[in-house]
Every structure is written in C-alpha cells, then in structure tokens.
A and B are shown apart, each in its own frame.
Chain A
Amino acid sequence: MSTPEGPRRVRVTSPRTSAARRPIIPTGTREIDEQTRLGEIYMLSLVQSQLRLTLAVIAGVLLVLGSIPLLFWLVPPTRTLSIFGLPLPWVILGILVYPVVYVAARVYVRNAERIEAEFTEFVGRK
C-alpha cells in the first residue's frame, strides 16, 4: 500500500464549493463594531480591568509616598535618623524612591499587557 519513500500524493482542490461558507472570523470584533449590548460589555470589561489595575498602582504609590511626610511629621526622630552616614529622609527621597517607582512601572506594564493579550485572544485577532 503505502511506500516508505516520499510523501503521499494528494489532490489539491479549491475549498470554495457551490455553497457559501460561514465566515470563520471570530465575532467579538463585530459585536464591538456594531455596538451591540455584548460588544459594549466586552469593552466595559476591558476598560474596567485596566482601570482597576491603574487605580491599584496609584493607590499603592500614593499611599507609600503620602505616608512619608506624615511619618516625618508624626515621628520627629525619623527626620535625623542616620543610615550608612546619610540622614533617613535623604536616603528615601534621594535614592530609594527611584528603584521603587521603576519596579512599580514594570509590574504595571506586565499586567496591562496581560489584560490586553487576554482581551485580544477573547475577541479575536486580525
């Protein structure tokens, strides 16, 4: 029957037969384009999950940053506390803030891209 050498000969035909086929593209984008209720819900869920992420980052950063002046205000010894020969306020505001902000940005971008990838998978690519 089948010979071990070479691929088997196949017949190539056009997929287009007499009946029109149903489009195989995902319909999520069409729901959005036509602004159906379903499309609105897709968009609402995308915007809301992005907004939740954004608000979480802002709340975290402002809570951390905002508590620093309050700490200096309420606990005066922290104003002059010395760490490695530098006063604590200078260590925090002059050095530590920057890597923390950078890490927050990295975490945000990773999560925002994950949300977008999931949305793209869900409603369908180009």
Chain B
Amino acid sequence: MSPAISLSAIGLVVAATIGIGLFGLRISRTTSDFYVASRAVSPRWNASAISGEYLSAASFLGVAGLVLVNGADMLWFSVGYTVGYLMLLVLVAAPLRRSGAYTLPDFAETRFESAAVRRICAGLVVGIGTLYLLPQLHGAGLAVQTVTGAPPQVGAMIVAVIVVINVAAGGMRSITFVQAFQYWLKLTALAAPIFVILLAWHQPTGVLDSLHGAAAAWAEPLSRAGGRDHPLYATYSLLLALCFGTMGLPHVLVRFYTNPDGRAARRTTVVVLALLGLFYLFPPMYAVLGRTFAPDLVASGGDTVVLELPGRVFPGTAGDLLGALVAAGAFAAFLSTSSGLTVAIAGVIDQDLLRSRLREWTGGDYIAVNSFRIAALIAMVVPYLAFTVTGSLSLADTVGLAFALAASTFCPLLVLGIWWRRMSTTGAAAGLVVGGIAASAAALIHVAGAPQGGWPRALVGQPAAWTMPLAFITVIVVSKLTPDRIPAGTARSMVRLHTPEAVDVDRGLPPR
C-alpha cells in the first residue's frame, strides 16, 4: 500500500471536515443557530447526518473484522446496529423530540424533577461516551499504522487533536452538513472497492469460495469460530444490547433535536433505517473476500481487513487508489463519531460538572465558552489515556460493551419514563445505579482481563441479557415501593411527550 496516496486522501478528509466546520462558524454564531438552522434541513439531509455520525469505526472497520475472524454469528452486529434504530423509532423517537430536552440529563431532570437523577445521568453520559470513544481512537491508530507503519498512538493522537480543535473552535455547529457529507463518503469508500473487485473478477463464483466446501465452517452460525463459548446466549445478549442500547447513546439524542417536530423525528428515523441497511450490505462482503485474499489477517485480529483488502486484490496503482479511498472513509468514520460524542460529553461536563466549579474558583470571572472548551479537552483526554492503557481490544467488542451499558441504564430510564406514569424518582435513580454498576463491572472485568472460558466469560463479555432485565426490574420494584415519590408533574409530562404538535395544549414547558 502506498503511504503517500493514502495520507493525502486522509489529509483531504481532515481538511474538508475542518474547512466545512470553520465555514459553518462564520454563518452560525450562537448555540441556538445550530438547532434553528437545522430545522430548515429536510428529513433526508438530517437522516444522512444521523447515519454519518452513527456509523463509527466499529461499523466501518470492526464488523468486517469480527465476521472475518469469528464467522457468521458476528453478522448480528450490523443487524443489531440497525434494529436499534427501529426500537428507538417505536419507543422513544417522537416523545424524545417532544420532550424539549437537548441532552439525556436534561430529559431526566424535567421528567423526574430531581437534580440527583440528573447528576447520575451526567456521570453515565461521560462513562458511555468514553467507552465509545475508545474504539474510535483505537481504529484511528490502526488505520495510520496500516497505511504508514507508524505506531498506533500517532493516528489516535491525530484524531484526538483534530476533534478537540474542531469542537472547541465551535466548528461542529455546522455539524449537519459535515456529517451528511461523511455518510456518503463512507458509503462510497466501502462500496467502490467491492464493485471494482466484482467487476474485475471474470468468474464471480470464485469470489464466494470461502463460503462453501471443507474450509467453510467459519461461515456457519453458532460455529464457535474464534473460540467464543455459549454462542446462543452470546447471540441473544448481543442482540438485546444493540437493539436497546442505541437509544441511550449520548450523541443520538442531540441529533434528534434537529428535527422540527415529533412527526419529522419519526420520518427521519425511517430514512436512517434505509441508509443504515444500505451501508451494512458491504462489511460482510469484505469478510468473505478477506477469507480468500487475506487469510493471514484471521490470526492478527482482522480489524484491518477493510483497509488491506484493496491492496491485496489489486497490487499496484489501482489497489493504492482504492486503499486511499477506504482509508479516507475510515477517517471520516473516526472524525464524525468522535466529534459527535465529544460534543455530547463536553456539553454534559461543562453544564453539570465544570461550570459551577469554575464560578467558585474564579469568583464568576470566566467566560462560558471557555468552560465548554476546557470540557471538550477533558472529554478527549480521558479516553486517550484509557486508549494508551488498553491497546488490544477488538473494535466492535468494546462498542458492544458501551451498548450494553446504555441498554442497562438509559434504556429503562427512557422507555419507562416515557410510557409508565407510575415511575417514581427513587425508582429512576435506583435503576440507573443498579444497571450502571452491573454493566460497568462486567465491562471493567472484560477489559482488565476476562475469565478464560465457559459461562463466566460469556456473561462478562455479553452482559446485557442479565443487566438490562435487572435494571428494568429494579425500576419497577422500587417505584412500586415508593409511590409517594412519583413526580408531581407526571401528568403534564405525559401530555408534553405524547400529544401531537397540532394540538394546542399546555405542555408545561418553560418559554425558550
């Protein structure tokens, strides 16, 4: 692979991202510009932007790598990432948009009228966001290493610095068009090499050889390829985590606010489902081709298969060009998801943790924007340090743990908070704490050194199947025990969350 061509392609993506960001800075100066301007955006653009932000390193590199190494069971990753948006659509999309909340802590505070629940949510946003940023940095390191041979810290540092500069400069206010552009770039980058390979191959049947015959055991579901025990449990648990974790990811809710109303939020989500489905047709093809053209990657973890495949199939200039396109797409994935996450985490750090302290320390002599900039720096430094400690985790696996944590905390909070009027504030807090501790304990054990095999490994590696029901049961039981702690404004909240905008009722919203 030629480093020069790939590096210039990566440089172009970075320059375009910063360029569009800076241009956006000129035309939008206030925080509300970001939201109001976006309301002129049609559901299609908005859906491209949501998909662009959502398709991370785990989708672009990780899924193909996991399928290559661990076989057909890993196809559930891309299925789950997509069905997660369907669950989000039917359970929370329109009510969340109607809630008037910008962030998850905002939602928790207005629904449960409690600063304590808000603070727990703030902590969880930082936790989930950090778990999700980790694989983005890991992917960036891997991509730069594959292209140039530089150590992984270099690529991670590049993404971290660019994201912090871009977010701190306020450039992501024009986020909608950057993200929308990045969806189509990612789709093109992933699809073009596949089409070229299929067209260039004179006997298309040879391409599918790895799926049939004696060596095709990896292509069977429940095959335990890659040494995973209890595949049936792992499959169901993964499916649960991905289906119900999507709605709790910190960068997803913010994007929903760019819809003008609840109805548009639903319609946008339908388009998102189409765009995600289109994208996820391609990663499995890299795995199938990788088994034929790059079988050595199976032993090395597989996460680089998307980057290396074009060069393996076409040695020479054609491979270099396609490889550069893929590398550019991968960088678009790291930048878009990392930026969205950093904005979401920094917003929470700024509002809930930093601003009051800064006011204390400086005696009120500070500028609000600087608080956000410091928060953006913290939001990226923590996962970067975590990245330097934990190097070798598989991309999609770490993301799976972030989803499991979201499914065990924010999913019960949102689903029961929106649909169950007898949920108490104590119940909400208890569910967040119990689900959060259970899922993050599993994640920590998995990261620090998972048990060698059998049920302990399966339960820790895919915790959602037990942590999510545990959180739901905790909320329900504690709410039943504390009926006097049901928020006084629950009836008004239900009106706000569920009545269509065309009906003129009192939604109990403070005037903005």
Q: B138 CB to closest chain A CB, in angstroms?
A: 25
Inter-subunit contact B273/A101 (CB<8 Å):
yes
Listed by A's residue number, 7 A-B pairs whose Cβ atoms lie within 8 Å are A29-B504, A69-B232, A69-B235, A93-B75, A98-B273, A102-B270, A113-B263
Inter-subunit contact B505/A33 (CB<8 Å):
yes
Residues of B contacting A113 in the complex (Cβ-Cβ under 8 angstroms): 263, 266
Residues of B contacting A38 in the complex (Cβ-Cβ under 8 angstroms): none
Q: With an 8 A cutoff between CB atoms, is B83 at the interface?
A: yes
Inter-subunit contact A119/B499 (CB<8 Å):
yes
Residues of A contacting B495 in the complex (Cβ-Cβ under 8 angstroms): 32, 43
Q: With an 8 A cutoff between CB atoms, is B219 at the interface?
A: yes
Which residues in chain B, 239-279, are within 8 Å of chain A measured between CB atoms?
239, 243, 263, 266-267, 269-270, 273-274, 276-278
Inter-subunit contact B72/A93 (CB<8 Å):
yes
Residue on A nearest B75 in the bound complex, by CB: A93
Which residues in chain B, 94-149, are within 8 Å of chain A measured between CB atoms?
94
Interface string of B383-411 (1 = CB under 8 A from A): 00000000000000000000000000000
Q: With an 8 A cutoff between CB atoms, is A86 at the interface?
A: yes
Given contacts A112-B94, A120-B502, contact A61 B82 (CB under 8 A): no
Closest 10 CB pairs of A and B: A98-B277, A93-B75, A116-B500, A126-B504, A79-B220, A72-B221, A54-B90, A33-B506, A89-B221, A69-B235
Cα–Cα, bound, A82→B79 (Å): 20
Residues of A contacting B263 in the complex (Cβ-Cβ under 8 angstroms): 113, 116
Interface string of A104-126 (1 = CB under 8 A from B): 11101100110011011001111
Cα–Cα, bound, A73→B220 (Å): 11
Indicate which residue in A50, A66, A105, A126 contacts B269 across the interface (CB closer than 8 Å).
A105
20 more CB-based (< 8 A) A-B contacts, given A79-B222, A98-B280: A35-B492, A47-B419, A47-B494, A58-B91, A65-B239, A66-B236, A79-B221, A79-B223, A85-B208, A89-B72, A90-B288, A93-B72, A95-B281, A97-B79, A98-B273, A101-B82, A112-B94, A116-B502, A124-B503, A126-B502
Inter-subunit contact A85/B219 (CB<8 Å):
no
Q: B446 CB to closest chain A CB, in angstroms?
A: 22
Interface string of B201-216 (1 = CB under 8 A from A): 0000100100110001
Residues of B contacting A89 in the complex (Cβ-Cβ under 8 angstroms): 72, 75, 219-221
Cα–Cα, bound, A57→B288 (Å): 33
Category for how many chain A residues contact B: 35 or more
Cα–Cα, bound, A126→B499 (Å): 13
Q: With an 8 A cutoff between CB atoms, is B314 at the interface?
A: no
Cα–Cα, bound, A47→B506 (Å): 17
Q: With an 8 A cutoff between CB atoms, is B44 at the interface?
A: no
Indicate which residue in A50, A72, A97, A108 contacts B82 across the interface (CB closer than 8 Å).
A97
Cα–Cα, bound, A90→B278 (Å): 15
Q: B70 CB to closest chain A CB, in angstroms?
A: 13
Residues of B contacting A33 in the complex (Cβ-Cβ under 8 angstroms): 505-506
Inter-subunit contact A90/B222 (CB<8 Å):
no
Q: With an 8 A cutoff between CB atoms, is B76 at the interface?
A: yes
Cα–Cα, bound, A40→B500 (Å): 16
Inter-subunit contact A90/B270 (CB<8 Å):
no
Inter-subunit contact A80/B220 (CB<8 Å):
yes
Inter-subunit contact B502/A90 (CB<8 Å):
no
Cα–Cα, bound, A40→B212 (Å): 61
Inter-subunit contact A29/B491 (CB<8 Å):
no
Inter-subunit contact A104/B86 (CB<8 Å):
yes
Which residues in chain B, 420-461, are within 8 Å of chain A measured between CB atoms?
421
Select the residue from A54, A73, A105, A108 with max chain B CB neighbours within 10 A: A105
Cα–Cα, bound, A118→B280 (Å): 37
Q: A41 CB to closest chain B CB, in angstroms?
A: 12
Residues of B contacting A50 in the complex (Cβ-Cβ under 8 angstroms): 498
Residue on B nearest A117 in the bound complex, by CB: B500
Given contacts A58-B90, A106-B270, contact A69 B504 (CB under 8 A): no
Q: A115 CB to closest chain B CB, in angstroms?
A: 9
Cα–Cα, bound, A104→B90 (Å): 10
Q: B157 CB to closest chain A CB, in angstroms?
A: 36
Inter-subunit contact B270/A109 (CB<8 Å):
yes
Inter-subunit contact B79/A126 (CB<8 Å):
no
Inter-subunit contact A58/B503 (CB<8 Å):
no
Cα–Cα, bound, A49→B100 (Å): 23
Q: With an 8 A cutoff between CB atoms, is A6 at the interface?
A: no
Inter-subunit contact A32/B502 (CB<8 Å):
no
Cα–Cα, bound, A94→B273 (Å): 15
Q: With an 8 A cutoff between CB atoms, is B413 at the interface?
A: no
Q: With an 8 A cutoff between CB atoms, is B18 at the interface?
A: no
Residues of A contacting B76 in the complex (Cβ-Cβ under 8 angstroms): 93
Inter-subunit contact B232/A32 (CB<8 Å):
no
